[in-house]
Amino acid sequence: MMKINQHGIVESLHVQCNAGNMFLNYFLYYIDGMLVDSGPKSSKDTILPFLETKEINTVALTHFHEDHTGNAAWLQREKGARIYIHPMSIEICRRKGEYPSYRHEFWGSREGFDAAAIRTNVQSDHYTWEAIHTPGHSRDHLVFINEELGILFSGDLFVTPKPKISMWQESIPTVMDSIRTVLAYDVKEMYCAHAGYIPNGREMLEKKLNYLEETYEEIHSLHDKGYTVEEIDERRYPTASPLKIISNKEWDSVHFVRSIVEDEPSLGRHVKS
């Protein structure tokens, strides 16, 4: 399955990746000689023919996860593109990706590649994109903003307005702070790696922040009454999601609750070097 769309000057390629009978969406974005993230290796038979037709000078990576970096090695080798990422992830990207097997099934195996550091911005052929550090989903997470165009490439900052589950490495209070950071910028349209083009991007980010703030209050008030993290999880999220099962609990609502109870906004939790 694949679909190409044009939104003003942004072209998108939508692919679906599966493990067993579960499907996840991924959206690749091309604008002005720049590719935002490189997409999962598992969809290379769809993605590479799309990329072959393009002049790609710059690849701006929002974070090191394999669904975003899967074709970076190919882009470097075959297209001679310059690859950029947050400086803390240059080292991990030099090596072949190491992650649980269900992620290999969904996204494929990421080869190592050489990336250069993004400091404050990244350049496409005609535009400058501010790179805003927005940790929480991952420590290195960046979003790219051009206020003149009103465009935000949001990586995995948004994904869904009402999350109920998270990866064990994620920090929800840090995500909330990162959304507040982005809302200080003049952005309208949002391009999300898993939800696609969102014309009312600002509104949807505000919606997610409001939902997380309410959820934060509700979970803390249960915790103040003496409920444990596990009891709060059982009470609020009694049904296990398919992702929890397929990921062998790397994704779990209990991580979401624990992060809200325990984390201070920071560079993220349980950070592995």
Nearest to 66 by CA among 35, 31, 101: 101
Using rule CB under 5 A, residue 65 touches Zn ion? yes
Using rule CB under 5 A, residue 156 touches Zn ion? yes
- Cα–Cα distances (Å) from 141 to 47, 63, 100, 221, 272, in that order, read 23, 5, 20, 30, 15
> Given the complex with Zn ion, which of 67 and 263 has the nearer CB atom?
67
Using rule CB under 5 A, residue 139 touches Zn ion? no
Q: Residue 45: in which H helix or E strand, if any?
A: helix 44-52
> Given the complex with Zn ion, which of 61 and 204 has the nearer CB atom?
61
Using rule CB under 5 A, residue 66 touches Zn ion? no
Give the range of 21-29, 62-70, 226-234, 249-257 binding Zn ion by CB under 5 A. 62-70
Considering the complex, what minimum distance in angstroms separates the CB of residue 1 from Zn ion? 21
Order of strands across the sheet that contains 142-146: 121-123, 128-133, 142-146, 151-155, 189-192, 196-198
Using rule CB under 5 A, residue 170 touches Zn ion? no
User: Which position has the token pair 């949002």?
Assistant: 190
Cβ burial of 52 (10 Å; 0-12, 13-18, 19+) is exposed
> Given the complex with Zn ion, which of 65 and 86 has the nearer CB atom?
65
> Given the complex with Zn ion, which of 65 and 79 has the nearer CB atom?
65
Per CB under 5 A, contacts with Zn ion among 13-52 are none
Q: Kindly determine how many residues on this chain lie close enough to bind Zn ion according to the rule CB under 5 A.
A: 2
> For residues 193 and 238, is the Cβ–Cβ distance under 8 A?
no
- Which positions lie near Zn ion, rule CB under 5 A? 65, 156
